[in-house]
Amino acid sequence: MKKTLAVLIGLTVAAPALADDAVNIYSFRQPFLIQPILDDFTKQTGIETNVVFAKKGLIERVKREGKHSRADLVLTSNFSDLVQLDELNLTQAINSETVNENVPAKFRDNEGQWIALTKRVRNVYSSKDRMGPLADLSYEDLALPKYKGKLCTRSGKHPYNLGLVASMIAHHGEAQTKQWLEGVKANLARKPQGNDRAQVKAVKEGLCDLALGNSYYFGKMIQDPAQKTWADAVNINFPNQGDRGSHINVSGVVMTKYAKNPENALKLIEFMTDNKAQNMYASVNMEYPVKPGVELSSLVASWGNFTEDSLPLDEISKYHPLALKLIDEVKFDL
């Protein structure tokens, strides 16, 4: 009995053997998205990487682990998490000439507390048959009565939609945004549900004519033989080209305050902002690289150039809680 107990305890608290110089990562992004880039990093530098992936709660984990945390980096899939990590004082400044050269100033924190790695546009997809391309469309138009019963979207509370609503507040103020949200809700063909791909699928099936969705999903669907027919049924539109430009969100990275291995972690960040990795983000994940001049995937390039909303991300991010509040007030998801 005692032996068994000892073995049990040994099994549970035996710390996992991690190489001393390895970079440890908490990732909000799915491993299958980042593993190819990490593998390439290991191949080039000989530095191992270890990953814990979760969709929720990693920020709380870093916070509670405090100075004993073994995480060196946190990878996020949207900018509100980057800003949140910074606000909770869980990050340290990334000081690197290479990074500063690779990443334009608007895509990193002034003090280097966070760095964006890739951009994605919040596009509006329109049915090829029933709508055609909508070059002049704006996000504001989605509330127009003429689109009643024609719009599909995922939950209003998903970070991608929250980011969009926060940017509307930043541009138009609270009252006008609430009105806009009420208009959008009135235009919904169905209760918000599913992910961004599911909305395009619904357009293909004729359930709605317009759908909100991130740019890279479109590229990914075209590559997937089973989903290509969905993507083929829609046009991709970049809203607000006539004025402020399309809303963009970013994925990014922070170095944790108590990183045990800041040198190698910095090497990985530099690697991720450099041509090779930026190119992989573009070609494998169909995202827009933050580094200027990195070639887009030919598919993404074929969607054409566009103007992006130039409002700084932390300007938008501070309206996140208010955006959620408005979404609750208009009962967007109910």
Partner 1 sequence: MSLKFSLSRWQLFAWVIGVVLVTPLCFLLFESLQGDSDVFSHLWDTVLWDYVRNTLLLILGVCIVSSAIALPLGWITAYCDFPGRKQFEWALMLPLAMPTYIIAYVYTDLFDYAGPIQVALRDWFGWQSPSDYWFFDIRTLPGAIIMIALVLYPYLYLIFKTALREQSFKLVQASQIMGLSPFKSFYRVSMPLARGAIVAGLALISMETMADFATVNYFAVSTLTTAVYDTWLGYYSLTAAAKISGIMLLMLFLALMLERFSRREQAVYERQSGVNSETLYSLKGFYAWLASLFCCAVLFFAFILPVAVLLNYAFAYADQAWNDAFFLYAWQSFKVAAIVCVITIVLSLLVVFYQRIAKQQYPLIPGRLASTGYALPGTVLAIAVLLPLTMFDDRLNIWLEPFGFSPGLLLSGTLFAIIFAYVVRFYAIAHGAVEASFMRISPSLDMASQSMGKSQGQTLTKVHIPLLRRGILTAGLLVFIECMKELPAALLLRPFNFETLATHVFQYVSDEQLELASISALSIVLVGLVPLYLVNRSMEQRS
Q: Which residues bind partner 1 (CB under 8 A)?
A: 8, 11-16, 18, 24, 30-32, 50-58, 60-61, 64-66, 68-70, 84, 155, 157, 162, 191-195, 197-198, 201-202, 204-207, 226, 320-321, 324-325, 328-329, 331, 333-334
| Residue with Cβ nearer partner 1 (108 or 201) | 201
The minimum distance between CB 276 and partner 1, in angstroms, equals: 24
Helix (H) or strand (E) holding 236: strand 234-237
Q: How many residues does the chain have?
A: 334
Which 8-state DSSP code applies to residue 70?
Answer: -
Are the C-beta atoms of residues 333 and 155 closer than 8 Å to each other? Answer: yes
For partner 1, the closer of residues 26 and 288 by Cβ is: 26
**Strand, coil or helix: 20:** coil
Q: How many CB atoms lie within 10 A of CB 20?
A: 8
Return the DSSP state at 259. Answer: -
Pick between residue 246 and residue 251 the one whose CB is nearest to partner 1: 251
Q: How far is the CB of 312 from partner 1 (least distance, A)?
A: 20
Structure tokens at 128: 């090829």
Nearest distance from residue 52's CB to partner 1, in Å?
A: 6
Please, which residue, 207 or 245, has the CB nearer to partner 1?
207
- Please state the closest distance from residue 149 (CB atom) to partner 1, in A: 9
If one counts every other C-beta atom within 10 angstroms of the C-beta of residue 86, the result is: 17
Q: Are strands 248-256 and 91-92 parallel, antiparallel or unpaired?
A: antiparallel
Smallest distance from the beta carbon of 201 to partner 1, in angstroms?
5
- Please state the separation of Cα 271 from the chain's center in Å: 19
Instruction: Considering the complex, state which of residue 106 and residue 331 has its C-beta at the smaller distance from partner 1.
Output: 331
Instruction: Decide whether 15 or 105 has the Cβ nearer to partner 1.
Output: 15
Amino acid at 205: E
What's the CA gap between 120 and 141, in Å, rounded? 21
The tokens of 317 are what?
Answer: 């991010």
What token pair was written down for 243? 């004025």
Our CB check for partner 1 shows the closer of 111 and 328 to be: 328
DSSP helix/strand/coil, 230 = helix
CB of 191 to partner 1, least distance (A): 5
Min dist CB 211 to partner 1, Å, is 12
